[in-house]
């Protein structure tokens, strides 16, 4: 059944692709017929005296190029919804009626070429999304009863094991249960450096296995994989228009009727001033053609889709054009601390020794007691012990003191590892109690037989990209603020280390929301967090960015923009790209309006021909707008 289903599916896809290819061939053939007829008609008209042949060729040119344009124009009259096709239909037919069939043919042919260009521009934007969809292989190898069976990803169930050989693209999300390899996750995170995968590691659909053999236990259905969510989000982003784009859409709706009325009044005024009926109609038709809003209406959506699709390839998932526009206006970027600027994992940053002991002894004593605990502090101490390759002796006895630490015996000595309160309870006098020289962080004290022998300092380590990202943001004149639930001392330390402009400590989730509201009074705010425990603050900001979304479905759902990895330098990169996008949008809109204003003025004065109006005011301008917008598909380099 599966093989039949797969074959049928492949047949449908092939049939659809074939139909699209035929459609394009027909369109190109019509464009060729129209163009050749137009050129032939002009040559015969110039070099011979055969009057009716050029007219026939011009009509063929109009009908070929107007195969879809003229019917759409007529339908728009019936529906009383005047659009661009109506303008071109009136211009072409009007030119023929006043004895200028060559001009009418030129208008229809050049407009048809502009339509094909617009369609190709849309196809290129859709291709950006299609390239993401094609990252999922058409079939996966499933291990069933020791045999390898090929299945469509849609037919694979949760819990089944898939086989990934060297060079294969992973077809489903899951956990590695056998093998070891390096996987290129650039399709998801934008980071080309391969990631080592061993048993227990998460693997993602669309990523590329390199040199090793892997068996992966499927944890999500094909429709729920991370790649599927990315594709769905990018598709949905096309529906969320920026404010500028919505304005242009509304403007275009009223623009065409106004243009028709203006052209009519121009023709009427020209006729009343003494010009002939032919000259008056010709001048009105020229203004009608010049005023076609194609390039104007196309300038924004092409730019937005190019940016959204290009960002997705680099591991930045933007949910709509409105967030690109808002990001470009950012005045302040607010960062959550734990799990965002820091790794959210405690590590031993320093070990102070007292009373003539050494670091190895202190670490050995601490780990001998902490090895039996599952507390995050215990895990950090054991990780440091592993890294230093210190031997961990078993404690003779040990007992947990809730909220304070651990006490026990080892080699006939009594030991305690924990907080200052535990030390006081055990009667231990701390060395340098008032002014501790070990540094800032979580302090874990170690005592032996009632004497303070050492202090371990644990810190939540900063991400390597944190300071770089904040430096780049400050270089762009953007203020940076840290909001954290940690105490004043820790917040101040992190703020100073990364170079943030301001920080607020001891904040509860609802207080973070109020802080973001306060900061918004000074301009557009971007909030960067993990997308889970700071979701209310992300929702309150103008733009909420969740980082590390590769490991959190919730982050993709809650944030306006999701960074698939934990590289914070993508925040200034995104702002740079957003500013560039809006700059190109403004350039395109400004260029469209300016050029049409100049050409419109010339047409009012009778200094513009129909064919030149369409060549410059529509086709030429459309080509320019599209080329300008597609610059956004190139990678943006973040600069400080």
Largest separation between any pair of C-alpha atoms in the chain: 121
Cα–Cα distance for residue pair 57/105, rounded to 1 Å: 9
Token couple for 283: 């001048």
Q: Which residues pair with 218 in a beta bridge?
A: 174
Residue from 336, 530, 534, 560 carrying the catalytic annotation: 336
The conformation of residue 640, written as its DSSP 8-state character, comes to -
Q: Report residue 409: phi and psi, to 5°.
A: -125, 150
Asked if residues 625 and 295 have their Cβ atoms less than 8 Å apart, the reply is yes
Region class of 165: left (phi > 0), else alpha (psi between -120 and 50), else beta: beta
> What are the phi and psi torsion angles at 371 (to 5°)?
-65, -15
Could you tell me how many residues make up the chain? 640
Contact of 332 with 454, CB cutoff 8 Å: no
Find the Cα–Cα–Cα–Cα dihedral 415, 419, 425, 431, rounded to 10°: 80
Give strand ranges (E) for 69-180.
140-144, 147-151, 161-164, 174-179
| Catalytic site includes residue 567 | no
User: Whose CA is closest to 544, among 580, 325, 552, 530?
Assistant: 530
In the structure encoding, which two tokens stand for residue 154, read together?
């849609």
Token representation of residue 121? 């521009």
Whether the CB-CB separation of 416 and 370 falls below 8 Å is answered with no
Cβ neighbours around 100 below 10 Å, total: 21
Active centre residues (catalytic):
336
């Amino acid at each position: 059944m599966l093989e039949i289903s797969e074959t049928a599916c492949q047949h449908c896809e092939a049939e659809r692709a074939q139909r699209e290819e035929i459609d394009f061939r027909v369109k190109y053939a019509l464009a060729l017929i129209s163009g050749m007829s137009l050129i032939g008609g002009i040559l015969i008209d110039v070099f011979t005296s055969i009057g009716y042949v050029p007219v026939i060729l011009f009509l063929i040119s109009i009908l070929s190029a107007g195969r879809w344009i003229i019917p759409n124009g007529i339908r728009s009259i019936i529906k009383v919804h005047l659009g661009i096709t109506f303008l071109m239909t009136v211009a072409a037919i009007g030119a023929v009626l006043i004895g200028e069939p060559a001009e009418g043919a030129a208008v229809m042919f050049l407009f048809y070429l502009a339509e094909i260009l617009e369609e190709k521009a849309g196809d290129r934007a859709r291709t950006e999304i299609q390239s993401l969809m094609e990252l999922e292989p058409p079939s996966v190898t499933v291990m069933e009863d020791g045999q390898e069976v090929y299945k469509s990803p849609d037919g694979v169930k949760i819990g089944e094991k898939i086989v990934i050989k060297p060079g294969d693209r992973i077809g489903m999300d899951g956990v590695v249960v056998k093998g070891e390899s390096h996987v290129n996750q650039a399709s998801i995170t934008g980071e080309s450096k391969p990631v080592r995968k061993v048993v227990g590691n998460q693997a993602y659909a669309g990523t590329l296995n390199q040199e090793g053999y892997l068996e992966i236990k499927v944890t999500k259905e094909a429709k729920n994989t991370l790649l599927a969510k990315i594709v769905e989000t990018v598709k949905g982003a096309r529906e969320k228009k920026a404010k500028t784009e919505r304005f242009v859409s509304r403007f275009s709706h009223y623009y065409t009727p106004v243009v028709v009325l203006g052209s009519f009044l121009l023709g009427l005024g020209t006729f009343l001033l003494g010009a002939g009926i032919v000259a008056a109609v010709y001048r009105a038709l020229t203004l009608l053609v010049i005023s076609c809003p194609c390039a104007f209406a196309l300038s924004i959506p092409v730019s937005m889709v190019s940016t959204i699709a290009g960002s997705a390839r680099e591991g930045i998932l933007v949910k709509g054009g409105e967030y690109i526009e808002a990001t470009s206006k950012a005045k302040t970027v607010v960062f959550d601390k734990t799990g965002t600027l820091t790794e959210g994992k405690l590590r031993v940053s320093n070990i102070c020794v007292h009373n003539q002991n050494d670091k190895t002894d202190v670490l050995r004593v601490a780990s001998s007691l902490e090895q039996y605990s599952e507390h995050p502090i215990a895990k950090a101490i054991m990780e440091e012990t592993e890294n230093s390759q210190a031997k961990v002796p078993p404690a003779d006895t040990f007992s947990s003191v809730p909220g304070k630490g651990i006490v026990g015996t080892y080699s006939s000595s009594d030991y305690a590892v924990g907080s200052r309160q535990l030390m006081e309870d055990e009667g231990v006098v701390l060395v340098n109690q008032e002014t501790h020289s070990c540094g800032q962080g979580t302090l874990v004290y170690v005592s032996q037989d009632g004497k303070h022998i050492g202090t371990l300092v644990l810190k939540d380590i900063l991400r390597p990209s944190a300071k770089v990202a904040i430096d780049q943001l400050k270089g762009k004149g953007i203020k940076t603020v840290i909001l954290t639930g940690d105490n004043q001392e820790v917040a101040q330390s992190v703020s100073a280390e990364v170079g943030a402009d301001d920080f607020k400590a001891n904040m509860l989730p609802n207080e973070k929301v109020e802080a973001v509201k306060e900061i918004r009074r000074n301009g557009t705010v971007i909030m960067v967090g993990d997308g889970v425990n700071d979701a209310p603050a992300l929702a309150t900001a103008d733009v909420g960015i969740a980082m590390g979304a590769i490991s959190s479905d919730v982050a993709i759902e809650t944030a306006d923009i999701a960074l698939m990895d934990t590289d914070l330098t993508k925040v200034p990169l995104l702002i740079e790209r957003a500013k560039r996008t809006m700059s190109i949008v403004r350039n395109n809109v400004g260029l469209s309006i300016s050029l049409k204003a100049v050409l419109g003025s010339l047409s009012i004065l009778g200094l513009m021909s129909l064919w030149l109006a369409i060549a410059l005011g529509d086709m030429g301008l459309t080509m320019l707008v599209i080329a300008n917008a597609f610059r956004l598909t190139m990678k943006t380099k973040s600069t400080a």
